[in-house]
Amino acid sequence: MGATGFGYKIAKKFGLKINPQRAGLVPFVFNSEDQQKFGQLRGISIFCRISNHQASFDENILFTHKGLSGPAILQISSYWNSGESIEIDLSPNIKITDFLNNKKDQGTKTTLKNTLTELLPKNFVATFFDSDILEKRVCDLAIDEISLIAKKIHQWLVYPQTTEGYRTAEVTLGGVSCDELSSKTLETNKVKGLYFIGEVVDVTGWLGGYNFQWAWASGQVV
């Protein structure tokens, strides 16, 4: 949107603390192996619960030709650091063990592939699981097989290679530390008459207009 590093330069000139910056609310990029496996799923959206050691969100993920996007991914990206994993529960509202065991008890003779497509997109199911297990009838599944299937759906660990960076990011994480500013006026504590507002400050909101609101509200204060 035409932003520059001018604000950071001013802050640095006056010796203010600047927290490291990086792209936030941004899509993830898979490694080459996962891109090859999941790239064909681009455009498919799945409601899930996505989490790491800092945060959890119940939103949709969206497969792209490079990796993952969608509200859930954008939200968790602000809490993710390079090298870390994220955990995706692809069926947060239905326990897969209960779902499959009920089908098994009913003597369901349809394949696992057709049964799982009641909950998940067909193309995703075909890509996510090995064909051998998908062709098994649900009534023939062993207890340990059901447990493994459930674990894979509820605890899909993803290790993003990187993010798409500032090209598609909605915000910048980091910036001028809030400790340097008056919480009432946003004037710097060290320099009279010097103010910092908006995205140059280390304040980042969730999706939903919060970052716009911060920009407008902080501007109004000054």
| Model pLDDT for residues 87-142, shown as the tens digit of each residue | 999 999 999 999 999 999 999 899 999 999 999 999 999 999 999 999 999 999 99
Rg (CA), the chain: 23
pTM assigned to the model? 0.91
Query: Tens-of-pLDDT digits for all 222 residues of the chain?
Result: 456 889 999 999 999 999 999 999 999 999 999 999 999 999 999 999 999 999 999 999 999 999 999 999 999 999 999 999 999 999 999 999 999 999 999 998 999 999 999 999 999 999 999 999 999 999 999 999 999 999 999 999 999 999 999 999 999 999 999 999 999 999 999 999 999 999 999 999 999 999 999 999 999 998
Taking the C-alpha atoms of residue 150 and residue 138, their distance in angstroms, rounded to an integer, is: 13
Helices (H), the chain: 6-13, 32-38, 71-77, 96-105, 112-116, 122-128, 131-134, 143-154, 210-221
3-state secondary structure of 145: helix
Task: Provide the pLDDT for residue 5.
Answer: 87
Question: Which residues have a Cβ under 8 Å from the Cβ of 156 and sit 6 or more positions away?
Answer: 87, 88, 89, 90
Check residue 121 and give its pLDDT: 98
Between CA 45 and CA 11 the distance in angstroms is: 42
Phi, psi of 202 (to 5 degrees): -75, 70
- Domains, in order of start, for the chain: 6-24+172-221 (no CATH), 26-169 (2.40.30.10)
Give the pLDDT score at 2.
Answer: 54
Q: Please name the residues in contact with 13: beta carbons below 8 A apart, sequence gap of 6 or more.
A: none
Under 8 Å between Cβ of 104 and 144: no
**Does residue 133 contact residue 149 with C-beta atoms inside 8 Å?**
yes
